[in-house]
Amino acid sequence: MFYKYKQQISIFFILAFTIGIFMALAPEVFLHFRIYLSYLSIIPFPLLLALGLTPLIIAKEIDLSFPAVLALSGYVFAQTYLGTGSGFLAFIFCLVTGFLAGLFNGLVVVKIGVPSIIATIGSQFLFRGLAMILSDSHALSVIKMKGEIIDKIFTARVFGFLPAQSLWAILLAIILYFILFRHKFGTSVLFIGDNIKAAKMMGINTSKVRIILFVQMGLISAFCAAILNLEMGTWWPTNGEGYLLLVFASIFIGGTSVFGGSGSVFGTVIGSVIIGIIESGIIAIGLDGFYTRFIYGIIILLAVSAYAKLSKKRET
């Protein structure tokens, strides 16, 4: 129990330290409220994806296809709206696409037995390619949805300044926390990640749980795609391409074990904030944007190495 709180305090300290560094090096940017409002509109997208992927990582699975699922479901959202004029129908079809993509991944991994890293690499190319073929690599504008009810629900500025997508991300984090740590389904996920053979012996339907996790990731990717389309006003064939590294960095810096069996929703949230701040912070202090990828790589390696060491200490 103490270890869990110590971990949360540590990740919060990293966040405070990161903000402090950028405040000192770029005070004209980080001492003004505007930058933090922009974070509230941008960070929720990788955060939503990171929250969806965290339970899969805890269960010792992985999904590398979520950027492509985001692109494909986003295309369905935009095309359905352009064909029907209904934002709600577009949203439903978008979620159905995400559900089917997640179900496809789950069945390939669980029923056929393909390792999730291999299966989702393949489905990543499949879903991205399908989106490219269907769209003929052309962007689709949904700017006409601005001001409609569905736009107000998901991307309006609450109180005139607070992006609604940040509230949806917080709501998902709260729900996910209770599912993982206050519900028997979450207990099953933790047991599967720790020792899947022991979980089976305890009567846990490991196949069902793992398929549900892939479906959940597909649904959250589609949900993120719909909100991204609404926020940007346009669907692009390249949607989602920049999120893969951001999401994994957020999860691992947040304390979710790459070895499965343990994780932190709070850590994922704070990790997403840290990663979101770093990119703009690097540019604000005068460095080139390409430094961000280098730093993300360092962060992932350091985080995974540190938590691996801590896990070994707990076992001894």
Q: Does residue 93 belong to any structural domain of this protein? A: yes
Count of structural domains within the chain: 1
Residue type for position 81 = Y
100 band by pLDDT with thresholds 50, 70 and 90: very high
CA distance 4 to 214: 26
Q: Does residue 180 belong to any structural domain of this protein? A: no
In terms of pLDDT, which residue wins out, 17 or 226?
A: 226
Q: Does residue 16 belong to any structural domain of this protein? A: no
Among the listed ranges 85-99, 222-236, 245-259, 292-306, which one has the minimum average pLDDT value?
Answer: 292-306
Q: Does residue 97 belong to any structural domain of this protein? A: yes
Q: Does residue 307 belong to any structural domain of this protein? A: no
Q: Does residue 295 belong to any structural domain of this protein? A: no
Q: Which helix (H) or strand (E) holds 112?
A: none
pLDDT higher than threshold 60 for residue 3 = no
In 3D, which of 179, 184, 205, 181 has the Cα closest to residue 262?
A: 181
pLDDT digits (tens, 9 = 90+) for 118-172: 999 999 999 999 999 999 989 999 998 888 899 999 998 888 889 999 999 999 9
Q: Does residue 186 belong to any structural domain of this protein? A: no
2 band by pLDDT with thresholds 50, 70 and 90: very low
* pLDDT at residue 25 in the model: 85
- Residue 181 corresponds to which tokens in the numbers above? 């740590």
Q: Report the mean per-residue pLDDT for the chain.
A: 89
In 3D, which of 71, 56, 74, 189 has the Cα closest to residue 117?
A: 56
CA distance 156 to 90: 18
In 3D, which of 96, 80, 91 has the Cα closest to residue 134?
A: 80
Average pLDDT on 258-284 reads: 86
- Could you list the residue range(s) of the whole structural domain that residue 235 is in? 56-162+195-240
In 3D, which of 142, 128, 120 has the Cα closest to residue 72?
A: 128
E strand residue ranges, 25-175: 140-141, 157-158, 162-163
CA distance 164 to 133: 32
Q: Does residue 89 belong to any structural domain of this protein? A: yes
Among the listed ranges 154-163, 175-184, 296-305, which one has the minimum average pLDDT value?
Answer: 296-305
pLDDT digits (tens, 9 = 90+) for 31-49: 888 888 889 999 999 999 9
Distances from the Cα of 313 to the Cα of 16, 76, 232, 308, 309, angstroms? 26, 48, 46, 9, 6
Angle between helices 44-58 and 66-84 (to 10 degrees): 130
Helices and strands in the chain: count of H runs, count of E runs: 15, 4
pLDDT higher than threshold 80 for residue 251 = yes
CA distance 120 to 57: 13
